Amino acid sequence: PSNYENLIVGADTTVPLRNGRLVTAINFDNAATTPPFCAVMQEIMNFSPWYSSIHRGTGYKSQLSSHFYENARKTVGEFVNADLSKDTVIFVKNTTEAINKVAHSLSSTDEQPVVLSTCMEHHSNDLPWRRNYRVGYIDIDEDGRLNIEDLKYKLEKYNGSVKLVVVTGASNVTGHKNPIYEIATLVHQYNCKILVDGAQLVPHSPVEMKPHSSPQHIDYLVFSGHKMYAPFGIGVLVAPQTSFSTNPPDLVGGGTVDLVTHNQILWADVPQREEAGTPNVFGVVALIAAIKTLSQLDMKKIEYHEYRLMEYALMRMRQVPEVELYGDCIHLKNRVSIVPFNIKGISHDLTAKILSMEGGIAVRNGCFCAQPYVQKLLGIPDEKLQEHIQHPELPRPGMVRISFGLYNQIHEIDKLIALLWTITSNKQYYIDLYKDSPNFF
Ligand code: PMP
């Protein structure tokens, strides 16, 4: 584990501080995006001589690229233990596109089916369901963990009309992992299907879709390449092959059809009918290189390594006075390595700015595209937020989030902790110092 840092591009990038000094950048914003593996960039270079548009090209390069692209579905399927005799792997841009695709494919103009989402979802696993569905939200407890009793209650209450339960594998705010196999078992008892948003889970823990015959089977799984050491622009939707037969594809055009006349369209089979336009071959090459690297490293070992980072960070952060931590800080095995916090008396955006400008430490602050969840954790009632609609100039509530990748180091956490002590011991100094200070750019 000690040489994980050599696996990624940019581990030694230097950035300027406020005083002009250059320091090695510390990236604690991996829940947003992870840097690419060196092996991923190398594989893109290796593949470059074969760069070509796939599927209908007759040239050798095009045939080779097509072969690689189609075979990649198998590698992805194996990585998450999907049964590709029943499931299909669709390459998409990202998790957001994947979820919108499922929402489109299951929507119906005759009825408004019920989808049960949760109060801890990223907007990408909430907003797509607000169109064409009636959405019920499964509650959370005061630590931000999913309330399974409420799920049972709502499955019973809406029995017969719930089509799908959508749930994040791990929260991008608190890192809380949901018991997805337990939830799947419950959901299947009610004849519904389950979609797991794997954006924060797949890069950090082993994930298995389980056989279709198992009650624990995950029906839909979605995730993004850019959060698992591949570049932007590639993501995955694993779904039952049969789930795309009702509606026409969401995006239509080249690649989605088998036959077109002026008044007739015969759609292609999945996955092609769901991959409109020229496919992102380099994205898939990169994703496969990332998956192979992660598999070689062993997801269990990665999970344990990141758990140790989080455990250490939490232990040290607890000792800093006036640092408020959110989420369940006891059952750490049920979290991926994300730590949201605030410093009492300093706004989240100022804390994040100070960490960057005084320490070269990149974090994220705000509501992390999960506003209802963050509001609940902060104890802010909905009515209070109305003020922000009337007064957009008011500072918004939020948190600071650190999130680790496999390459992060204990000594980087030590630097964060030292800076947190400095900030909390000199709060007013920093508030005054940064009152009118600009950003770097
Ligand atoms: N779900 C979760 C839990 C996420 O953390 C994110 C990204 N922050 C998304 C969905 C959306 O991912 P993308 O932006 O890659 O579509």
Rounded to the nearest whole angstrom, what is the distance from the C-alpha of residue 221 to the centroid of ligand 1?
A: 13
- Are 295 and 406 a contacting pair, CB within 8 Å? no
Pick the closest to residue 424 from 400, 388, 391 (CA basis).
400
- Beta-carbon contacts of residue 370 (< 8 Å; ≥ 6 apart): 120, 121, 122, 123, 171, 172, 173
- Strand pairing report for 26-27 and 87-92: unpaired
Q: Is 343 in the pocket of ligand 1 (CB under 6 A)?
A: no
Instruction: Report the atom number in ligand 1 closest to the C-alpha of 32.
Output: 8
- What are the start-end ranges of the H helices in 121-254? 127-130, 148-157, 180-189
DSSP for residue 5: G
Q: Which helix (H) or strand (E) holds 138?
A: strand 134-138
For 214, the token pair is 């198992």
- Which mutation among 176, 201, 227, 234 tests ligand 1's pocket best, with the greatest number of atoms within 8 A of CB? 227
pLDDT score recorded for residue 1 = 46
Q: Identity (one letter) of the amino acid at 271?
A: P
pLDDT score recorded for residue 118 = 98
Give the alpha-carbon dihedral of 114, 150, 143, 117, to 10 degrees: -10
Residue ranges of domains in the chain: 4-30+298-433, 41-295
Which residues of the chain, if any, have pLDDT below 70? 1-2
pTM recorded for the entire structure: 0.97
For 176, the token pair is 């809380």
Rounded to the nearest whole angstrom, what is the distance from the C-alpha of residue 169 to the centroid of ligand 1?
A: 11
Helix, strand and coil in the chain, % to nearest 5: 40, 20, 40
Instruction: Report the chain's terminal Cα–Cα distance, integer Å.
Output: 35
Instruction: Report the atom number in ligand 1 closest to the C-alpha of 98.
Output: 16
Fold of 41-295: Aspartate Aminotransferase; domain 2 (3.40.640)
Is the domain defined by 4-30+298-433 classed in CATH 3.90.1150.10?
A: yes
Give catalytic status of residue 192 as yes or no: no
- Strand pairing report for 26-27 and 22-24: unpaired
Report helix, strand or coil for 307: helix
Q: Is 168 in the pocket of ligand 1 (CB under 6 A)?
A: yes
Buried b (16+ CB within 10 A) or exposed e, 298-332: ebeebbebbbebbeebbebbeebeebebbbbbeeb
Task: State the complex-level ipTM.
Answer: 0.99
For 153, the token pair is 């209650």
Distances (CA, A) of 184 to 165, 188, 216, 238: 9, 6, 5, 16
Q: Is 121 in the pocket of ligand 1 (CB under 6 A)?
A: no
Instruction: Report the atom number in ligand 1 closest to the C-alpha of 172.
Output: 5
Omega before residue 372 within 30° of 0, cis: no
Instruction: Report the atom number in ligand 1 closest to the C-alpha of 168.
Output: 3
CA distance 41 to 180: 33
- Beta-carbon contacts of residue 329 (< 8 Å; ≥ 6 apart): 314, 318
Pick the closest to residue 249 from 276, 277, 224 (CA basis).
276
For 45, the token pair is 């270079």
Q: Is 272 in the pocket of ligand 1 (CB under 6 A)?
A: no
pLDDT score recorded for residue 2 = 57
- Which mutation among 171, 172, 180, 204 tests ligand 1's pocket best, with the greatest number of atoms within 8 A of CB? 172
